[in-house]
Structure 1
């Protein structure tokens, strides 16, 4: 975050699977004088890093503890089950949680789906991370239900995935401190919400200038006088 008397900058955190590249490019085009630093953070620590003022804002997944934070939901992800390529569920284009009732379903500690009760049979131990769970799936130890972007992030040639129609879904949101909606935060909000560069709320702080007003009537240039006098025409006087 920007320190007092320091050149302005913007620090944006993002959780694994979220791809902020498009928004960063727009920021660089619109606000070239303010560098944007990207910081990848774990899902479990994302909100806390904003509360500790280590980040100006963060792209995280809901549900999360939103105490003291604003959060704007941006989009909802499809939930999928990750399985080996020869798994029986690959015969269908889409599955339901009931289809996983007999499966060992891994539930990593960094899970972001907020299950009331995960489907299937629980494992004896919960993997520490989604990456660890992916390794177990590849080893033939259970299946994993995650947002689709995480399945893509941890893609392996020996694994595939299918959508789970009735599973909870994860929302990606932009979050920042409730009492610190700065001009730079407003600028980034405008970008992720698709505001154009001409939008007043979407402009960089330096560009938020009022339009020039027309000069008052007494400030306008006087109209030029006509060369021809009223009621006659110019020329030499007639001889008597």
Structure 2
């Protein structure tokens, strides 16, 4: 099974934003919304005074968005991509609130959660995403990380790997920055949305109630083994018989 990932060399990005436009066109993303981004950062070490950071969904190996989804619409595919099943998505926004990277949004046209899926909806798995195909400096690279002959596998093996980790949760992002990127502290703290917390609390209550009920059933079972009901009532009948014969 292939394991698709994206690697980004931020130092090669010239901030042309062709990747954003190509993604919007390929995936029919409404104007004003985007599945990917290029962040501009103040950087006195550069002549321009600015450095840039291309990015998109991190396609985490431990995605909190998957756990936040109440319908199972968001899921981690076997080939590494985190996807959204629009048929099952109810547009509640729980996954959007849970993502520490701000990589999700509610699509204004469909009313469902939207995000980078490596252009999976409009091309076969493994085909080059739109953002990669139009990058003029080839700062975005995509491919099968488990294929040692793929370009992305060779880059990951030969370059320093930098991952942007969430502050309080090891989401294990698979999107990799090569050598360096900035900033690395922008993900917000992970916090489950209130509806999901309520579901968790209710689930805990149900588990405790079910546990107590099971304990009661087991207790009755063992009581029956030690003192069956007919024996217990039989003693009472014997006393009554003795009283009647007296």
More helix by share: 2
Q: Fold-level match, TM-score > 0.5?
A: no
Q: Which of the five TM-score ranges fits, normalised by the shorter chain?
A: under 0.3
The TM-score, its normalising length taken from structure 2, stands at 0.23
More strand by share: 1
Q: Which has the larger radius of gyration?
A: 1
